[in-house]
Structure 1
């Protein structure tokens, strides 16, 4: 049903007259009257009777496209593109394929669209980043999504919460006549009360707003006394006559209402409404100074764009302004919602790189940032649109037809912390770029590793109320770990100060902290590796340095065994140094067993034995 607001209401439905003939007359008339259910049946009859051609296939595809029957639309676009078609047909075909999760095939159709319309921004975006879907799917989720029981078996969309009242638009009123677009009843404005537990009461119609035509969605001022809402221009007897099809063509228009008691009254049409174009889907800023809306008025970049207009204190209005290419494309942008901060705008788009159908995007209007796809689970391969957010309740709402029908969903923010780590020299305060920064969970599992940027920074987004550890390391500095305390965010900072490695170099030896081995073992330990990295640093700085490594054991065990064990330890030491990029000609080693004890003892304590299990590094050259 939201396609009604994105196509019918904005005059987007068009059809080529080139291939129309007496056979298609009945179907075409139904199509032009927006009675798509009946039109589809008539076009199908033509196909069944062997009278299908490129025109009929495209009309049938467009019919299903307008009802968002993605499977049937894709089937008939495939048939239509067997003959010559315009570029937009290939774009719509790609959209329907994406809506069915067929991204590889969708890319093929987008490539054809891009070749036919190379200057279209949608084509340019595709050519710059054709395989964007995996990145969208892998984006960190910002919300959870839950279907609400307030939804019906008809279309429900445009949810927005004011105080505890959830207003939305619905076609659930079965008592009224159906609209031929999709054989659903006309739209009305409804509301439901949100309880303390987050449940919703049975929805009731907002009788004082609704007409016998389409009504909604709505937006309400902060003080709760003023409402702007969408309604058919028939409310003001504003329409054009299509004599050929015996049809009155109305538009969506914006209206203002004020509250009197529990009812809305004093309904007036906004001065920039017109029978030439539509205005719909309003969202009023919290300061009441700006009204955002959708329209296809002159100056629109695509089919439907997001606009804004100043709401003056004297009740007058400024001149509507298009939000430009930061928001709008050659496709359709609609369902704007301006957040409480008066700078974050949420909107739906079918012209940007999304997962399929309409996707929800956000953009910071206060700077030059790009619009961001909100990712899963808000967006799916189907239509996802009409996002709003109530800061006081910390909950958002949106509509989606992911379950086969436009339903209302709650969007609960996932608590997250933006964790910034800055790596510096602990002695000088100098920024350390290209340091390796890893983040570990509370089980010491490495979650991710990055290199610090030119500012010494690495950013991670982590969960609230969980402890983490940052590990930072850089050649020439001592590695270190930094605990990250549990936090509710939204931000946290770790100053990772690394001590520069200071190694004593005498004329005879490289003096490191003792490198100890475990009893009866020759493998390099973590402590040993840390010390040997210091030796590697010195040898990298002094390219002519040649080292002889001596390995020793304690006095336990017989002499021959200790000689053999120390040889293995010497070899392990040498191999570690070579593995770090030092040429083998610059490092050699030998085991001395227990022949050169550092501590003469009888009996020896464990500490004394440990001191005797050591390596030494003599300068040969």
Structure 2
């Protein structure tokens, strides 16, 4: 968590109350307001020792420890605060995060249940309630990466990891010549450069030359494809832009993005980006592989949470377009930061709002047809119960970096080398829709992707080439359903797989082809065992009958329902009549006049297959619905 506050919250007025509760807490509150959390903790602890603590003091202790990611202490003081009467929803959420970080998953879920009850419309609550077993799913994904702590890490904060032209660029607080930052008593952050040696090690630590490093914080870098322009974050103190808190007399900066040009002497011509503002932060740049877009995090007005992920265009001269929020699918009421757009346009980012293992987790998604695919947790060991962030990966080699303050590191934040062992578990389903009779592709067909229970996951229309794309999680059974005016609806099952791409084709039959002189021939109409209500699967097929009856306005239909031989004669007769009547009601509900459709149950009296005993398939053939044409 330290890196988050170092590089993010240092730019913000704290969301907690900074007003002293009474004279006894004034000193501690002032330290808290200055983000000097180590000293503030000591001051609040003295009040506890004197027996002068209450819910407010316990809350401040919890929040201070939360901010420096002292998880066990934070857990302890949150519990004390709630015992003393605190009842803040956001604190309950943080308490659940600390429990999770300490491996107490069941207790964490108990707190999440409380949080969800208090804030049911919160993105984080809704995600949790829709997927309460998310932890086991993440932990059971299996190992997709090797992760190794880099030798270049120090006892201070080291994070980032951007390779460009044989050089590795990182952010670190190892520079003892810098002033120490009160948050964690480490020096202010600088950007360092290493050379990638032939043996794969990083050699020759150098404080980055040129005009990049100052006495203020500098952060993660990103380059244009030619390596000649570097984008990076820096505190607005450099531009003499800040706010002053009247209570603590502390100055607060925001974070701005800058670009610099590389020449023979290093990086120079440092220039602030036009999208910067004195009123909010912009940070964590990532330039797309083709140099046409820049992604970043910001707390500008109009977002969904504390920090959101944005993108903006970059022209040939490095001019930045209007920022565009990536939307509520990516951004939550929590923090979304450290975006990285890879060469295949996969977006990786870190979040406290999406369901994870504790602290910040790395997630990934991809934009398809202007929409973001489902958000996926990158799983272990990329993610831990600590903060995991600043993910970078070369899609061709599968190698890259992730930063983390997980246990076992050398410092407060460490950089880890990663190597992908197997594809991240998403599957791209590419569906092509064609006319069954002519073979022509069908543009504008409506497609829906349903899960194994028939629930619709997403809906799209085919493009000019008759193609539609969906991304689903590996090993997820789905069904691609296709409808189009003038055609019989059709669907195809897509078995769950670990393959990165699956191609399927769906052929649609012209509607007139399913009409014979005596009946309308539909695919089987399925009912649940011993039930007569219309299911999603049955509705999908019955909509074809609605299409036919709309096309032929004089057509009159008799819907008949049949059963197999299992069950008594009277029971089967009653069940078939209920199913036939339910079918008729569904057709009428779609706007067909009641006089145009009748219904009758046939029970087991008119089997399609006269068998004794019957196989499973023969029973299925006998359990059928027919749509006889009374008048055409």
Q: TM-score, normalised by structure 1?
A: 0.68
| Aligned pair partner of 1:458 in 495, 501, 506 | 495
| Corresponding residue pairs, total | 458
Q: Which segment drifts farther, 187-196 or 89-98?
A: 187-196
Q: Which segment drifts farther, 284-293 or 357-366?
A: 284-293
| Aligned pair partner of 1:158 in 149, 155, 160 | 160
Change (3 A) 1:491 1:295: closer
Shift of 1:145: 1.3
In structure 2, the partner of 1:533 is: none
In structure 2, the partner of 1:398 is: 402
2:497 alignment partner, SS class: strand
CA RMSD of aligned residues (A): 3.2
In structure 2, the partner of 1:122 is: 124
Shift of 1:101: 1.1
In structure 2, the partner of 1:432 is: none
Change (3 A) 1:227 1:450: closer
Does residue 379 (structure 1) correspond to residue 383 (structure 2)? The answer is yes
Shift of 1:116: 1.3
Change (3 A) 1:340 1:25: same
Does residue 337 (structure 1) correspond to residue 311 (structure 2)? The answer is no
Residues 570-589 of structure 1 show CA distances to partners (whole Å, capped at 9, x for unaligned) of: xxxxxxx9xx999xxxxxxx
Does residue 363 (structure 1) correspond to residue 365 (structure 2)? The answer is yes
Shift of 1:411: 1.4
CA distance in 2, matches of 1:287, 1:215: 25
Question: Residue 365 of structure 2 contacts residue 372 of structure 2 at CA under 8 Å; is this kept in 1?
Answer: no
| Aligned pair partner of 2:249 in 241, 246, 250 | 246
In structure 1, the partner of 2:286 is: 283
Change (3 A) 1:363 1:456: closer
Shift of 1:313: 2.8
CA distance in 1, matches of 2:405, 2:27: 30
Question: Residue 420 of structure 1 contacts residue 460 of structure 1 at CA under 8 Å; is this kept in 2?
Answer: no
Shift of 1:217: 0.9
Question: Residue 7 of structure 1 contacts residue 66 of structure 1 at CA under 8 Å; is this kept in 2?
Answer: no
CA distance in 2, matches of 1:92, 1:346: 23
In structure 2, the partner of 1:142 is: 144
| Aligned pair partner of 2:421 in 408, 414, 421 | 414
Shift of 1:544: 4.9
In structure 2, the partner of 1:270 is: 273
CA distance in 2, matches of 1:271, 1:377: 38
1:81 alignment partner, SS class: helix
| Aligned pair partner of 1:295 in 277, 293, 298 | 298
Structure 2 spans left out of the alignment, 5+ residues: 430-473, 480-490, 505-606, 619-632
Residues 525-567 of structure 1 show CA distances to partners (whole Å, capped at 9, x for unaligned) of: xxxxxxxxxxxxxxx99775589xxxxxxxxxxxxxxxxxxxx
CA distance in 1, matches of 2:19, 2:476: 59
| Aligned pair partner of 1:198 in 177, 196, 200 | 200
Shift of 1:195: 2.5
CA distance in 2, matches of 1:4, 1:16: 17
Shift of 1:272: 2.1
Structure 1 spans left out of the alignment, 5+ residues: 422-447, 463-489, 495-539, 548-576, 583-621
Question: Residue 145 of structure 1 contacts residue 409 of structure 1 at CA under 8 Å; is this kept in 2?
Answer: yes
CA distance in 2, matches of 1:313, 1:420: 32
2:203 alignment partner, SS class: coil
CA distance in 2, matches of 1:172, 1:277: 28
CA distance in 2, matches of 1:12, 1:326: 27
Change (3 A) 1:3 1:415: closer
Shift of 1:151: 1.2
Question: Residue 59 of structure 2 contacts residue 86 of structure 2 at CA under 8 Å; is this kept in 1?
Answer: no
Shift of 1:393: 4.2
Change (3 A) 1:4 1:153: same
2:247 alignment partner, SS class: helix
Which structure has the bigger radius of gyration? Answer: 1
CA distance in 2, matches of 1:451, 1:246: 59
Question: Residue 420 of structure 1 contacts residue 458 of structure 1 at CA under 8 Å; is this kept in 2?
Answer: no
In structure 1, the partner of 2:226 is: 223
Q: TM-score, normalised by structure 2?
A: 0.67
Does residue 322 (structure 1) correspond to residue 325 (structure 2)? The answer is yes
CA distance in 1, matches of 2:476, 2:118: 41
Shift of 1:37: 1.0
Question: Residue 348 of structure 1 contacts residue 386 of structure 1 at CA under 8 Å; is this kept in 2?
Answer: yes
Shift of 1:288: 1.6
| Aligned pair partner of 2:312 in 305, 309, 312 | 309
Change (3 A) 1:542 1:92: same
CA distance in 2, matches of 1:193, 1:461: 37
Does residue 388 (structure 1) correspond to residue 388 (structure 2)? The answer is no
In structure 1, the partner of 2:4 is: 3
In structure 1, the partner of 2:578 is: none
1:24 alignment partner, SS class: helix
CA distance in 2, matches of 1:253, 1:420: 37
| Aligned pair partner of 1:95 in 94, 97, 119 | 97
CA distance in 2, matches of 1:17, 1:5: 19
Question: Residue 150 of structure 1 contacts residue 202 of structure 1 at CA under 8 Å; is this kept in 2?
Answer: no
